[in-house]
Amino acid sequence: MIKQFFKTVFLVDLLQGMALTFRYNWTKKIITLQYPDKEKWVPYERFRGLHYQAVDEEGELKCVACELCARICPAGVITIEGYEDEKGNRRPSVYTMDLHRCAYCGLCVEACPEDAINHGAGYEFAGFKREDAVMTLDKLLKNKANEKDPEKMGTVVSARFVRDKDGIKVIEDGKKRYRWW
C-alpha cells in the first residue's frame, strides 16, 4: 500500500518506460519512415493500389469496353460506354471509376480479359474536391506512371516534399533505396 503510494508519487513507472525508450533510441536501428519529408515507401508487388489503364506497344488503349469489370464490381464503381473507333475496334468513350466507393478488392483486374485495367503502386490521391477521387479515362491513363516495377517493390526510396500551386506532392529522387526489412 505504502510502496504503491511512493511509486505513484515519484513516477517510477514513467521513468522505467522512459528508460526503455532511451535504451531503444541508442541501441536499436531506427525504423521510422521519414515520410513525406525525406523518404517514401514503395509497396509490395501484390499491393492493390491506384488503378491505371494499360496501353499496347503502339500506345493504343487495351480496353475494349466489354464492361466485365463494371459487371463484377461489388460496389458499382465503374462506368463504361463503348463506341466504335475509326479502325472498327470497340473502345471506351467513357471509363470512369468513382474511387470513393472502391474497396480495392481487385475483382475488376481479375475479370479483365485484355489486361487493360490494373492496380498500380500508387496510394497518394487524397484531394480537396470530390472530383479528385473520380478517375476519368484521362486520369487512369496518367496513373500509368504508378505502374509497378517488380525490382523496386517493397523498398523505401529517398524523396522530397513539394508544395506548390498544384497541391502537395512527394517526389521520389531515387538517390537512396533500401529494403524496409
Contact residues for other proteins, defined by CB under 8 A:
64-68, 70-71, 76, 78-84, 88-90, 93-94, 96, 98, 113-114, 131, 134, 136-137
Cβ atoms of 85 and 39 closer than 8 Å: no
Taking the complex as a whole, the smallest distance from the CB of residue 135 to other proteins amounts, in Å, to 9
Taking the complex as a whole, the smallest distance from the CB of residue 67 to other proteins amounts, in Å, to 5
Taking the complex as a whole, the smallest distance from the CB of residue 134 to other proteins amounts, in Å, to 4
One-letter identity of residue 158: S
Q: Specify the residue, 105 or 153, whose C-beta has the smaller distance to other proteins.
A: 105
Taking the complex as a whole, the smallest distance from the CB of residue 174 to other proteins amounts, in Å, to 34
Q: Residues, the chain, total? A: 181
Q: Specify the residue, 139 or 148, whose C-beta has the smaller distance to other proteins.
A: 139
Q: Three-state SS for 21?
A: helix
The kind and range of the H/E element at 16 are helix 12-27
How far apart CA 114 and CA 79 sit, in angstroms, is 17
Q: Specify the residue, 40 or 118, whose C-beta has the smaller distance to other proteins.
A: 118
Joined together, the cell numbers standing for residue 101 give 466507393
